[in-house]
Structure 1
Amino acid sequence: MLMPPTISTINPSQGPTTGGTTVTLTGTGMTGSTAVRFGSTNATSFVVNSATQITAVSPPRAAGAAAVIVVHPTGNSNSVTFTYVVAPVPVVTSVAPSSGPTSGGTSVTLTGTGFTGATAVTFAGVPATSFVVNSATQITAVTPAGSAGAAVVTVTTPGGSSAPDAFFFYAAPPVLTGAAPAQGPAAGGVIITLTGSNLLNASAVRFASTNAASFTVVSATQITATAPAGTGSSPITVVTPGGTSNPVAFTYVAAPTLTSLVPSSGPTSAGTVVTLIGANLASATAVSFGGTAVPFTVVSDTQITAVAPAGAGGPVTVTVTTVGGTGPGLTYTRVAAPGI
């Protein structure tokens, strides 16, 4: 003679009055069961997994204890208790990080209370790309795409929806329009003014892949940054919660070098045209004879012509200053005329 089913455990043993809790009933003789009842109300749905297990979804019911039984052609099972509780309204107390790009994709941690059984997380009414309920006090969610500005973050559970007092700020992507100066010495140290838009809350300024030695956000349209050491072309980008900006050009200039002066000597009077030969001379900003700045013409990256100033007889050091700095000098000798 077949015996009615028996229930030994129910897990979980409580859930919200709104129903919807999936419970697992473990016992014996479950095969062929025709119903699962919570009090006098049939389960919303149920599945006989095996002779020893049934999963059932609790129907809505008033708060309090409900006797759960399994109905079977051989008779009803013993009962176990499932307790209906009033689910708390969820409360979101913090969102971290609190900002990210309008393109979405930011993983944020929501902290608060009453998150158990959350059925939705929205940002300005748009469902999160995905979310995971870690505990009654924490949810991780991935932001959907959104418009620049503040977006109300809402968590919905069987207890209701959280109040509209938690926010995620969508940041428009940063845009750079210029860098001045656009060149600097390979040793770094030059202060660059970056102009553009959406530059607030910048977290990094990069010269190619190297972070700036330091930077200051002046406004939403301007940042000053100190260039690190580098070589060659090194596009500058800015990183903000809105993403990474477009690059703007910046070039490192090597320090100038001089290899010869032609002629290397001349009279103490002014006017001798001297050709300076070397390398990295194209961006020359000054030519000096013994500390005296003189007129000059950049002929090419390897040649400059300059006019020697008047001065006492003897050697003086000739130097060239460029965007790349001031290079080592060469000796020019003033020769006094006989009898002077």
Structure 2
Amino acid sequence: MPISPNQGSTGGGTTVTITGTNLTGTSAVHFGTKSATAVTNVSPTQVTAVSPSGSGSVGVTVTTPGGTSNPLSFFYVGAPFKSSLSPVSGSSAGGDTVTVNGTGLSTATSVAFGPNSATPTVVSDSQITAVVPAGSGGTVGVTVTTAGGSNNGLSFTYIDAPTIATVAPTAGAASGGTAVTITGTNLDSTEEVGFAGIPAPFTVINATTVSAVTPPGTAGAVDVTVTNAGGTATAGDSYTYVAGPGI
């Protein structure tokens, strides 16, 4: 006579299905010494019931006019505890893999990032990973759901990819050292500015402006890129290195 699921929250409230024979007329289902609620005799071979609160491992029995069944094991699981999340930010497009550390995570079935959920991979009772679903820019709560219940308290920040509107000036010495102002959107979280793929020193002014100093380059037009956790914006051939004069 199997029971599914065979584990649930210490606070009770888990709906279980018990399958067996001669279950017609079921009058009670007990979890240890406690009576289950919402007992429903679905068929002669199936009964559903809602677990009461409890702890540890208990025997589940079904009582009918014919007597009481043999016990089945049911395990009470405490709510999970989350201690850390890494990384704590990523692209609004989703796709980043995050690691959640804590306790009681071995029965994790869902990790929700705000209103969007992901199915976790259980590494151990103290660690799970999940691929972040797509979301909107901003910070959301992270909720882990296990057989023992749900727990939140950590947060993840979605970062929108940057865009580039203008690069000024559009040309400078191939020896580098030219101060360039880049305007666009979502620039306050800039992690790197590049000229032809070469990282440049930069300063974030605000969400729409970044100032950078060009590194040395080869004469000709090059791409300018701005990168943050949300992605990379590329302004193709938007800056031109000019060779110095020769005599």
TM-score, length-scaled by structure 2 = 0.88
For residues 232-261 of structure 1, give each alpha carbon's deviation from its aligned partner in whole angstroms, at most 9, with x where no partner exists.
233222222222221521122111112222
Which among 22, 26, 34 is matched to residue 126 of structure 1? 34
Structure 2 equivalent of residue 144 of structure 1: 52
For residues 202-223 of structure 1, give each alpha carbon's deviation from its aligned partner in whole angstroms, at most 9, with x where no partner exists.
22222222232x5311112211
Larger relative contact order (Cα-Cα within 8 Å, sequence gap ≥ 6): 2
Structure 1 equivalent of residue 134 of structure 2: 229
AA aligned opposite 2:69:
S
CA distance, structure 1, for counterparts of residue 90 and residue 103 of structure 2: 24
Task: Please give the residue correspondences for 1:137-216 in structure 2 after superposition, counting only pairs within 5 Å.
Answer: 137-147=45-55, 149-157=56-64, 160-164=67-71, 166-212=72-118, 215-216=120-121
CA distance, structure 2, for counterparts of residue 238 and residue 128 of structure 1: 26
CA positional deviation for 1:143: 1.0
For residues 170-212 of structure 1, give each alpha carbon's deviation from its aligned partner in whole angstroms, at most 9, with x where no partner exists.
2212233332212111221111112222211222222222232
Structure 2 equivalent of residue 249 of structure 1: 155
Larger Rg: 1
Task: Please give the residue correspondences for 1:254-265 in structure 2 after superposition, counting only pairs within 5 Å.
Answer: 254-265=160-171
Q: Does the 8 A contact of 2:161 with 2:186 survive in 1?
A: yes
Q: Does the 8 A contact of 1:189 with 1:229 survive in 2?
A: yes
CA positional deviation for 1:321: 0.7
CA distance, structure 1, for counterparts of residue 16 and residue 42 of structure 2: 12
CA distance, structure 1, for counterparts of residue 24 and residue 166 of structure 2: 81
- Number of positions where the alignment pairs a residue of Structure 1 with one of Structure 2: 245
Structure with the bigger percentage of strand: 2
CA distance, structure 2, for counterparts of residue 144 and residue 249 of structure 1: 32
CA distance, structure 2, for counterparts of residue 272 and residue 133 of structure 1: 80
Structure 2 equivalent of residue 219 of structure 1: 124
CA positional deviation for 1:144: 0.7
Q: Does the 8 A contact of 2:135 with 2:158 survive in 1?
A: yes
Structure 2 equivalent of residue 106 of structure 1: 14
For residues 275-304 of structure 1, give each alpha carbon's deviation from its aligned partner in whole angstroms, at most 9, with x where no partner exists.
222221122221111111122222322222
For residues 156-177 of structure 1, give each alpha carbon's deviation from its aligned partner in whole angstroms, at most 9, with x where no partner exists.
455554334x111222122333
CA distance, structure 2, for counterparts of residue 135 and residue 288 of structure 1: 68
CA positional deviation for 1:121: 2.1
Q: Does the 8 A contact of 1:284 with 1:298 survive in 2?
A: yes
AA aligned opposite 1:206:
A
CA distance, structure 1, for counterparts of residue 25 and residue 164 of structure 2: 76
CA positional deviation for 1:135: 5.0
Residue 248 of structure 1 aligns to a residue whose secondary structure is: strand
AA aligned opposite 2:125:
A
CA distance, structure 2, for counterparts of residue 219 and residue 297 of structure 1: 42
CA distance, structure 1, for counterparts of residue 160 and residue 227 of structure 2: 11
CA positional deviation for 1:95: 1.0
Q: Report the aligned-residue RMSD.
A: 2.3
Identity, % of aligned positions: 48
Structure 2 equivalent of residue 7 of structure 1: none
1:289/1:128 Cα in 2 relative to 1: closer, same or farther (>3 Å)?
A: same
Task: Please give the residue correspondences for 1:260-339 in structure 2 after superposition, counting only pairs within 5 Å.
Answer: 260-329=166-235, 331-339=238-246
Residue 199 of structure 1 aligns to a residue whose secondary structure is: coil
